[in-house]
């Protein structure tokens, strides 16, 4: 029995160390390249959240062999038009040709230019820059990556590491402190982090929950911070770990990856509220925890299957069967993409480089299109354009 306990404790600490190391790599990557992502969004219109999520994934948070030998942060292959330096790397096939850059800034700029230059990505620039889900699904649909889970990977990175804040900063909708940093939640790690001399950014406050036990929907619950051992919570409240996992619809694990509510009793089959309106950043799981309703019950009431996520603004029924299935997040993004593609499918696009003394209106007159259309195509907040700025123009 003692041997089994030692093995279990050892495995728990190994799991925690691996998770923390991966998280630290991602945090370090964000702290290093967030300014580049913000700058590129302001130059190109590609959401900073998407740029960072792609960079994290494509480089394995800056640790991949490809990025170390080529500064290639986005896995862009040579293609026929590339005339710069190259490296060869095993990917979908052995010894494939990848672009090589002198410095990371060149890779970030080329990534933006690459997306702008290809007509198959043109529809993305019509999306709201805050619609990171639409961008994630759109990139996969346009063929950026072969991984069938590429969209979900980007979305999870954006939500887990709050990458939307950098999109907000780039749009001027969120103030950037003089020294900004994303940090791990474990304060003991901060002293060893070379970036911790800076100030942590002020994120929107998390919901306030009382210490110790309280109730939601007539069910006993506690609030636990990321890094908490579920085994220690189970022991504290005299519960088998398997029951704690079951009560909270969790897979076999021990260390919490995020702050969350933990129920000490089985949740109810119905919610205390009649329905819940899905907010940005929420998942069906987080709604279940927030409302104190079983995950399988919520799925059944709303005609959903496990793994589905619902679009922001949709109504989730908590007490009675929904009259119809809510719109899924992927469906909403695809609807937006299809609507834009329908509008541009009969059009050809060109890239116009703004010349000295040109205005949006003179450019519109030159191509025989409306200035407002150019603003929409390029996600411009105003009619101001700058010399050297790239504009996508569609002509029938």
Distance CA 121, CA 135 (A): 10
Q: Are 112 and 351 in contact (CB under 8 A)?
A: no
DSSP string, 211-232: SS-EEETTEEEEEE-TT-BHHH
Distance CA 201, CA 93 (A): 42
Determine the pLDDT at residue 192: 32
Q: What is the mean pLDDT of residues 93-101?
A: 86
Q: Work out the pLDDT band at 372, boundaries 50, 70, 90.
A: confident
DSSP string, 247-280: HTT--S-SB-SS-EEEESSPPBSS-SSSEEEPPT
Determine the pLDDT at residue 6: 42
Query: 142: which DSSP letter?
Result: T
Which tens digits make up the pLDDT trace of 211-255? 889 999 999 999 998 888 999 999 999 999 999 999 998 887 778
Determine the pLDDT at residue 94: 80
**Residue 346: pLDDT over 90:** no
**Residue 127: pLDDT over 90:** no
Residues of the chain with CATH 1.10.530.10: 2-190
Distance CA 70, CA 93 (A): 18
Task: Name the β-bridge partners of 215.
Answer: 220
Determine the pLDDT at residue 21: 36
Write out the two tokens for 104: 């990371």
What is each CA distance from 144 to 75, 134, 368, 376, in whole angstroms?
Answer: 10, 14, 32, 24
Contacting residues for 82 by C-beta, under 8 A, at least 6 apart: 99
**Residue 27: pLDDT over 80:** yes
* Topology annotation, domain 346-395: Membrane-bound Lytic Murein Transglycosylase D; Chain A (3.10.350)
**Residue 178: pLDDT over 80:** no
Q: Work out the pLDDT band at 385, boundaries 50, 70, 90.
A: confident
**Residue 45: pLDDT over 50:** yes
Determine the pLDDT at residue 107: 94
Write out the two tokens for 71: 């500064």
Nearest one of 231, 284, 283 to 262, comparing CA atoms: 231
Determine the pLDDT at residue 321: 94
Distance CA 60, CA 133 (A): 21
Determine the pLDDT at residue 310: 86
Between residues 367 and 180, the one the model is more confident about: 367
Distance CA 318, CA 134 (A): 27
**Residue 17: pLDDT over 70:** no
**Residue 174: pLDDT over 80:** no
Alpha-helix residue ranges (DSSP H) falling in the chain: 2-44, 48-59, 65-70, 104-117, 132-141, 150-160, 164-170, 187-190, 230-236, 241-247, 284-291, 295-301, 329-344, 360-367, 371-377
HEC string of 238-250? CCCHHHHHHHCCC
Residue with tokens 């390249």: 33
Q: Work out the pLDDT band at 379, boundaries 50, 70, 90.
A: low
Cα–chain-centroid distance for residue 267?
Answer: 29
Determine the pLDDT at residue 24: 83
Distance CA 207, CA 58 (A): 33
Q: Are 287 and 268 in contact (CB under 8 A)?
A: no
**Residue 139: pLDDT over 70:** yes
| Structural domain 268-329, CATH architecture | Roll (3.10)
Distance CA 36, CA 42 (A): 10
Write out the CATH class of domain 208-266: alpha beta
Which tens digits make up the pLDDT trace of 196-210? 333 333 334 456 788
What is each CA distance from 157 to 50, 153, 161, 173, 281, in whole angstroms?
Answer: 9, 6, 6, 21, 12
Q: Are 66 and 75 in contact (CB under 8 A)?
A: yes
Write out the two tokens for 65: 């062999």
Determine the pLDDT at residue 190: 30
Q: Are 214 and 265 in contact (CB under 8 A)?
A: no
Domain 2-190 has CATH 1.10.530.10: yes
Determine the pLDDT at residue 302: 95
Residues of the chain with CATH 3.10.350.10: 268-329, 346-395
Whole-number average pLDDT of the chain: 80
Q: What is the mean pLDDT of residues 132-156?
A: 88
Up-side HSE of residue 239: CA atoms within 13 Å toward CB? 22
- Grouping H, G, I as helix, E, B as strand and the rest as coil, residue 182 is coil
Claim: this prediction has a pTM higher than 0.85: no
């Amino acid at each position: 029995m003692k041997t089994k306990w030692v093995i279990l404790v050892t495995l728990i600490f190994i799991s925690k160390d691996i998770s923390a190391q991966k998280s630290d790599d991602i945090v370090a990557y964000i702290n290093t390249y967030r300014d580049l992502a913000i700058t590129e969004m302001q130059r190109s219109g590609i959401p900073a959240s998407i740029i960072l999520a792609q960079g994290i994934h494509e480089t394995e948070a800056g640790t991949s062999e490809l990025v170390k030998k080529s500064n290639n942060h986005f896995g862009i292959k040579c293609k026929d038009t590339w005339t710069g330096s190259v490296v060869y790397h095993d990917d979908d096939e052995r010894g494939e040709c990848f672009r090589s850059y002198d410095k990371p800034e060149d890779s970030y700029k080329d990534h933006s230019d690459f997306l702008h230059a290809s007509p198959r990505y043109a529809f993305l620039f019509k999306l709201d820059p805050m619609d990171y889900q639409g961008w994630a699904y759109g990139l996969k649909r346009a063929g950026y990556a072969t991984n069938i889970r590429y969209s979900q990977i980007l979305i999870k990175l954006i939500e887990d590491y709050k990458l939307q804040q950098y999109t907000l900063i780039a749009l001027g909708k969120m103030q950037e402190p003089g020294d900004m940093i994303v940090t791990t939640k474990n304060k003991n790690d901060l002293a060893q982090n070379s970036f911790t001399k800076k100030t942590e950014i002020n994120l929107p406050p998390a919901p306030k929950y009382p210490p110790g036990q309280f109730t939601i929907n007539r069910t006993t619950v506690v609030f636990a911070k990321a890094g908490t051992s579920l085994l220690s919570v189970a022991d504290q409240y005299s519960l088998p770990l398997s029951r704690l996992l079951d009560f909270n619809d969790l897979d076999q694990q021990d260390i919490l990856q995020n702050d969350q509510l933990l129920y000490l009793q089985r949740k109810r089959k119905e919610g205390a509220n009649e329905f819940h309106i899905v907010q940005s950043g929420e998942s069906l799981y987080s709604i279940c925890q927030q409302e104190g309703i079983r995950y399988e019950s919520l799925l059944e009431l709303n005609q959903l299957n496990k793994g589905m996520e619902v679009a922001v603004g949709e109504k989730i029924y908590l007490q009675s069967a929904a009259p119809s299935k809510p719109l899924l997040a992927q469906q909403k993004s695809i609807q937006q993409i299809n609507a834009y593609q329908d509008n541009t499918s009969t059009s050809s696009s060109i890239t116009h480089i703004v010349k000295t003394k040109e205005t949006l209106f003179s450019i519109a007159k030159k191509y025989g299109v409306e200035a407002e259309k150019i603003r929409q195509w390029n996600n411009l907040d105003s009619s101001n354009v700058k010399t050297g700025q790239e504009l996508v123009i569609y002509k029938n």
